[in-house]
Structure 1
Amino acid sequence: MSPVKFVRFLLLAGAALVPVGPAVAEVAPRPEWLRVESHRAVDGRSDDLVTAGLGVARLLSGPAPGYADPRAPTMDELRRASMFRRGDPGFGFGRLFGPNVDTSTGQVMEDDGRIAGEEFLAFADDSTGRGSRNVAMLLQVPRDLSRERNCILAVPVNGSSALFRDIVDFGFWGLRRGCAVVYTDKGAGNGVHDLESDTVHRINGTRTTAAGAGEHAQFAAELTPEARQRLLAEAPHRIAFKHAHSRRNAEAGWGQDVLRSIRFAFWQLNERAGAERFTRANTLVIVAGNSNGGGAALYAGEADDGGLVDAVLAGEPQVQVRPDDRTVVTYLGRERRNPGRTLLDYFTFGNLYLPCAVLALPEDAPARAGITRAADRCASLREKGLLEANDTAAQAREALERVYAYGYDRAVEILHAHNYSVVPDATAAKYVSAHGRFGVEDRICGFSFAAVNAEGRPVSAPPEVLAQSFATAPGGAPFGPVDIVNDHDPTGPRRNGMSASPSTGRQDYNLDGALCLREMAVGSSPEARRVQAGIAEFLADGNLRARPVIIVHGRMDDRVPVAFSSRPYLALNSLAEGDRGNLRYWEVENAEHFGLSGPGFDTRFIPLNLYLLRGLDALWAHLTTRASLPPSQVVRTVPRGGSVGSAPPLQASAVPPPALEPAAADRIAVSAGRVAIPD
């Protein structure tokens, strides 16, 4: 057995691991694409790696962190605000899971979730070194870095958010294990370029002029000064976002971005130590991501043909699978062949019909009362020949049936109004622009982004909103007064939710814009072909190269439905890997996408986050002690129940761990491209 293989054997067998090779080994050269921007150390009391010194108790109650000068926050204040995630003890945070809880034992720790250590912020740039790509990365090294087992947890960040987004949710898990944790924004992070003031974010969240930031900007739109002024003359007050307007089609590189973040971690850890202590042969590497970070984790597993990654955890992954007619998923007696859908496909379909369908939902469906122009959307759909019924109630029922026929599970219908309230038009417009490599000046489908006033008209973004946007903006609109704008409104540009369609004259949530977005996803115009070519660059093939992988997804996810993502991916993986495959899929009852616990959600749902942490525990045990992984299964849970707004606290018995030997009625069967999901 070769020395490298012997070390790997010891690692998998759970043997204590000590540094191998000569202690004076030189550190490998810095990767040519790497630019380290800053370093800080935190003491674990006044500041820490997980809660920025606040502690879990402050996350559970008390005021959110503020700013001494709201128009000029410091980097420390922005970092603290970015890490702040309000926790709900009734939902289990701080009791059943969280930075202060050891999920493997249930023990609540005395340090209140605070962990001391160091942080390094860096960019992965392209070969020009001019900041034209600037994929942001954050490496956290706990003070109690394990000396017994080298390990790295790599986290592609959820959504288009700042690098600190996933620390409180599950990044802390790696720090608790004594692992280094490295995050990447996947080239889609929180870069906000206000074109009017010509200001941008630095990697630490503070703002300066685009010229002053130069290559150190998170993102600056590729516009000459003359082009920027022309755009502002045509469309004043507009804002560009990194994910939407970088012209990079970032998703095509998400897998490689994750692998680069791991290489950064190896280099920085060894540079910090002054010798090559961390090598691929002696270090466990786990990738874990949630939502589109979960998709990026799977893309990384597929892209890693050099054995850099040991295992992958993908939570509710926004993964878009390659079409294959051999894949079949059966659920509730319904068989769907080639069931995978791209994000733009299901977002643009839902964006058409959901604002009418909500009228057919129960009165207590979350956010239903806020969809006030549903009848206008129904009427406009009827005029366009997209519905056949003549009265509003029948049109709503027909719209809901079309959503079901498209492929949505009926179980998620209670969340359709909320799903629409989370502005799928803004998300679809962002992805259309990204996949088609359109710039901010293209304003595809007549959409742009700006701060708006009470009438929905574009205005200058307030200075304090821009100054705090690193902590408040989710990498796109909406945030604060910034929202998606319909530039084609007959009365002039207006916030899309308040706007009228040119062809109908109604305030129908801009049906014309929704139809244009739909055309980008499934149409044949030159712009649509450009978008679809971008999508083709990253479709998953399901080949995870036989490494252990766990996908965890909530059955009630209406944002990234299991019917279009995880279930089809499981089917495709079984074709790609056959008997070599080592993928497990846990479908968790009563869990939805956002982990919300407010009124309307408190009585109905349980936290998926708990199962992400259990998935990491299972992978760790598998890699270090060769423990068996729980097989693919439906995990049966019990929601809190009670009265809306006053649900009883979630109990551990209501959220059991996945079973090593699940009952036959809970097992998910998968073979040769066919997946059978239990009722």
Structure 2
Amino acid sequence: MKRIMICALIGATGFGLSACNDSNDDNPTAENQIPGFIQGDIRHTRYDGITDDLLTAGLGASGLGSAIAPAFSDERNPSPRELRRLAIYNNYRALVDTSPGGGYGEFFGPGVGKNTEGMIPGHEYIAYMTVPGSSVPVTVMAQVPDSFDPQSPCMVTAPSSGSRGIYGAIGTAGEWGLKKGCAVVYTDKGSGTGSHNLDTNTAQRIDGTLTAADEPVQFRAELSDAERDEFNALWPNRFAWKHAHSKVNPEADWGRHVLQSIEFGFWALNEQFANDNNVDPITPENTLVIASSVSNGGGASVRAAEQDTKGLIDGVAVSEPNVNPVVDTRLAIKQGSKAPVTRHSRSLLEYTTALAVYQGCANNAPSIRDQAPLNNLNPQNVRDNICNSLANKGLVAGADNDERAEDALRILNEEFGIQPEQNLLAPVHFASKVAQSISMTYANAYGRAGVEDRVCGLSFAATDTAGAVTPFAPEKEAAAFATSNGIPPTAGVDIVYDAADGQPTALPASASPSSNQADYGLDALLCLHSLAMDRNVVDDAPLPGTEAALAKAISQGISEIRATGDLQGKPAVFVTGRADAILPINHTSRPYYGLNQRVEGANSELRYYEVLNAHHLDVLNGFPGIGDRYVPLHHYYFQALDLVWERLTNNTPLPPSQVVRPTPRPDISTPLALANLPVIAPEPAEGDKILLVGDELRIPE
């Protein structure tokens, strides 16, 4: 039985989300029926916009911009309200550069175009849902600002970026939609924070609080008590994580998650306005719906638009979308006078495991090592050891480590089609364990492996300063809902190489059994790369039995997430930074655009804007050496939303696909100005247009 839990108004009383009461039971004869995919209770909370709100959790623009995070009154027992507030703070700042002069408060931010603090009153509905064929709970949420006009309804989708939880897109699609007066619908896409402490059987409720009881939680591993006891005896203090270990390949359903979130949004709107006699039912026919978000969330919205059979979505506006397009071997991608790229559209797992294997050595390349910002975060001895290990296995060539590092860089740029523009940013991403974490999580997810499988000898656990496994600090576990990005290393939990030389060790400090040196557990990373490539990459031999079966399962999982390129003629905009060092553009936005042009032809309304001097993680722009080389892609994402809005409301034509040429500021002490950020041109110069000519997608330099 489904129920609506009416929670106390979050205002001067200070009541938290736990102050909920039953409302009416699900009534099968009611006109506004709760969607059948909703599982359990729906929590409905009203925020007053003074002491708490939808967008900033009561922190306001100044609180989100502060380097001091909100604290808990009891660090081991935070309240739901405290967890929500810290989750919004961390998720907002993870994607948006809030440093002085970087554009926050000037070109984007809660207060821009609104009041000074940008706090938005309204209603929030949150619940679990499932998709057909899966019992794993997916979190869904609808936010309805008080400025929503039921006579002119609009809705924006905000699936989480990366593997983040339900508030993962609050600062991107959430901010734009709420400030526009639209309902915003969110989903964690079956990834999210959901961590399961296998020792204590503790997991997170929907509000982030912890429980070991048998009650609805975000995720628990599919293990019996006996199986869990057996696992813990061998591998104590380990964690299962929802995206990696749910055994359902959640990405295969990201489009459905977004479509269901829209249907939930329509239910919430009609529930809220049902007693207003002046309001007609709010339906897809009378509501403007833009599918949006960034990165993984953007990819999810693209897949939703492809799969939309009910006419739920009117337009698409996404930034740096994680799309894995169907491989069109006829298509070539040619940038300026460079040689055409024909091996495009590689899967995320192929190029990411390649980065995990080779980038640690490439960080040593003389052509980039002294220019790359924050490269000093990668210890010199580890860089040397990785190069040595790769050379000993015949995977890089060179008489010394300088030459080997240059060869590793060549392999990434030439053999794996990764743009040279990403080379300076890749070292800081390696230091942040981006490719390493994606490689482990997605290999597990695509292959539908469980935590008990410990793919490539890897697991998740807290570690001490030497890298040894240790119990997770209770205060860190209590905060994990608010501090986790959904993909370890995160929130104090690291990737552990159980097969490391000596003892299980945090991956960055691991010595490989084959080398007996601290080479970042290269054996494990090569194992992941071999699974992605479906062959042993060291000796180019077929994989043995169990590994071959897992590689086959991974290949099947990847086939399930391939995008078709058919947006059904919907007006759509992609904006992507050329220097994207996480989702290389020759495998994502560029080939998707080319595929779409071939699939939809003259019916296509997709526009692709490639932004120079922009990359994937704007938050890095607050650092010297990065903020003076790059501009915020976030600014152009908001332009993309504005352009699609104008196309849908005023029939304004979308500008042609083009290269956009912003100018970085001279140093990070100089604030960004309009002169740095030219608009997406309604009529770009011929030399800036992106064109498909025959079988060749031509991208200007």
Q: TM-score, normalised by structure 1?
A: 0.92
Residues 500-552 of structure 1, C-alpha deviation per residue, up to 9 Å, x if partnerless? 11111111111111110011111151111111111111101101101011001
> Is 1:661 equivalent to 2:687 in the alignment?
no
Shift of 1:162: 1.6
Q: Which of 661, 669, 679 is the aligned partner of 1:647?
A: 669
2:302 to 285, 298, 307: 298
* Matched residue, 1:285: 289
Deviations 1:222-272 (A, max 9, x none): 110111111111111000111000001000000011000000111121122
Contact 2:61 2:116 (C-alpha < 8 Å) held by counterparts: no
Structure 1 residue ranges (4+ consecutive) displaced by more than 4 angstroms after TM superposition: none
Q: Is the 8 A contact 1:82 1:470 kept in 2?
A: yes
Aligned-pair CA distance for 1:422: 2.5
Rounded to whole Å, the distance in 1 between the matches of 2:340 and 2:132 is 48
Q: Does 1:370 align with 2:392?
A: no
Number of aligned residue pairs: give it: 641
Aligned partner of 1:425 among 433, 436, 443: 436
Q: Aligned ranges for residues 359-438 of structure 1 at < 5 Å?
A: 359-360=364-365, 361-372=368-379, 373-406=382-415, 407-423=417-433, 424-438=435-449
Amino acid at match of 1:359: N
SS at match of 2:466: coil
1:337 and 2:356 matched: no
User: Is the Cα–Cα contact under 8 Å of residues 195 and 228 in structure 1 kept in the other structure?
Assistant: yes
Local SS of the residue matching 1:567: helix
Q: Which residue does the alignment assign to 2:477? A: 466
CA contact (8 A) 2:193 2:242 kept: yes
Of stretches 164-173 and 216-225 in structure 1, the one that deviates more from structure 2 is 164-173
Tell me if 1:135 matches 2:138: yes
Superposition map of 1:578-657 within 5 A:
578-595=601-618, 596-597=620-621, 598-642=623-667, 646-657=668-679
Listed as ranges, the gaps of 5+ residues in structure 1 are 1-24, 103-108
SS at match of 1:266: helix
Task: Give the C-alpha shift of residue 479 in structure 1.
Answer: 2.1
Match of 1:171, as an amino acid? G
Q: Which residue of 2 aligns with 1:176?
A: 179
Aligned to 1:256: 256
State the Cα deviation string for residues 294-338 of structure 1 (Å, max 9, x = none): 111111111112221000112101111111211211013220125
The answer for the alignment partner of 1:33 in structure 2 is 37
Which residue number corresponds to residue 63 of structure 2?
Answer: 58
CA contact (8 A) 2:255 2:305 kept: yes
Task: Give the letter for the 1:623 counterpart.
Answer: L
CA distance in 2 between counterparts of 1:206 and 1:641 reads 45
Query: Is the 1:174–1:180 contact (alpha carbons within 8 Å) kept by the matching residues of 2?
Result: yes
| Whole-Å separation in 2 of the counterparts to 1:520 and 1:100 | 47
Shift of 1:93: 0.6
Q: Kindly report which structure 2 residues correspond to 1:522-561, keeping only aligned pairs within 5 A, or say none.
A: 522-524=533-535, 525-561=548-584
Matches within 5 A, 1:143-542: 143-209=146-212, 211-212=213-214, 214=215, 216-274=216-274, 277-332=281-336, 333-360=338-365, 361-372=368-379, 373-406=382-415, 407-423=417-433, 424-524=435-535, 525-542=548-565
The alpha-carbon distance between structure 1 residues 557 and 238, as it changes in their structure 2 partners (threshold 3 A), is same
1:435-456 Cα offsets, whole Å, 9 max, x none, are 0000001000001000001111
Per-residue deviation at 1:570? 0.6
Give distance in 2, aligned partners of 1:271 and 1:196: 42
CA distance in 1, matches of 2:131, 2:598: 35
Deviation at 1:480, TM superposition (A): 4.0
SS at match of 2:341: strand
1:11-37 CA-partner distances (Å, limit 9, x unpaired): xxxxxxxxxxxxxx9634322111343
Distance in structure 1 (CA, Å) of the matches to 2:203 and 2:341: 46
Map 1:51-130 to 2 at 5 A.
Answer: 51-61=56-66, 63-84=68-89, 85-86=92-93, 87-102=98-113, 109-126=114-131
Q: Deviations over 1:387-423 (max 9, x none)?
A: 1212111111111111111211212111121121231
CA contact (8 A) 1:520 1:527 kept: yes
Q: Which moved more, 1:461-470 or 1:480-489?
A: 480-489
- The amino acid across from 2:290 in the alignment is I
Q: Is the 8 A contact 2:356 2:525 kept in 1?
A: yes
Distance 1:485 1:127 in 2: 34
DSSP 3-state at the match of 1:154: strand
Indicate conservation of the 8 Å contact 1:247/1:437, yes or no. Answer: yes
Distance 1:569 1:126, change over 3 A: closer
- SS at 1:90's partner residue? coil
Instruction: Label 1:662 to 1:126 Cα distance change in 2 as closer, same or farther (>3 A).
Output: closer
Q: Deviations over 1:339-369 (max 9, x none)?
A: 1111100001111111011111231312311
Secondary structure (helix, strand or coil) at the match of 2:309 reads coil
Q: Is the Cα contact below 8 Å between 1:27 and 1:274 reproduced in 2?
A: no
Q: Which amino acid aligns with 2:236?
A: P
* Whole-Å separation in 2 of the counterparts to 1:418 and 1:585: 27
Task: Give 3-state SS (helix, strand or coil) of 2:461's partner.
Answer: strand
**Deviation of the 1:281 alpha carbon:** 1.2
Q: Secondary structure at the match of 1:585?
A: strand
Output the CA distance in 2 between the equivalents of 1:222 and 1:47.
37
Decide whether the 8 Å contact of 1:313 with 1:615 is kept in 2: yes
Match of 1:6 in 2: none
Secondary structure of residue in 2 paired with 1:337 = coil
Partner amino acid for 1:61?
A: S
Code of the aligned partner of 2:530: E
Residues 360 and 430 in structure 2, CA contact (< 8 A), matched pair in contact too: yes
Matched to 1:223, the amino acid is: L
Deviations 1:440-490 (A, max 9, x none): 010000010000011111111010111000011110211243100001112
Select which of 589, 598, 610 maps to 1:566.
Answer: 589
Structure 2's unaligned 5+ residue stretches are 1-28, 536-547
Amino acid across the alignment from 1:263:
E
Range 142-151 or range 293-302, more displaced: 142-151
TM-score after normalising by structure 2: 0.89
Identity of aligned residues (%): 40
Question: 1:532–1:666: structure 2 CA closer, same or farther, 3 Å change rule?
Answer: same
Query: Which has the higher mean CA deviation after the structures are superposed, 86-95 or 566-575?
Result: 86-95
SS in structure 2 of the partner of residue 631 of structure 1: coil
Q: Deviations over 1:621-672 (max 9, x none)?
A: 1100101111111111010123xxx431111111111000001111111245
Q: Secondary structure at the match of 1:41?
A: strand
1:94, 1:100 within 8 Å by CA — same for their partners in 2? yes
Question: Following the alignment from structure 1 to structure 2, what is the Cα–Cα distance between the partners of residues 127 and 400?
Answer: 44
Q: Secondary structure at the match of 1:377?
A: helix
Q: Which letter does structure 1 place at the counterpart of 2:272? A: R
Match of 1:670 in 2: 692
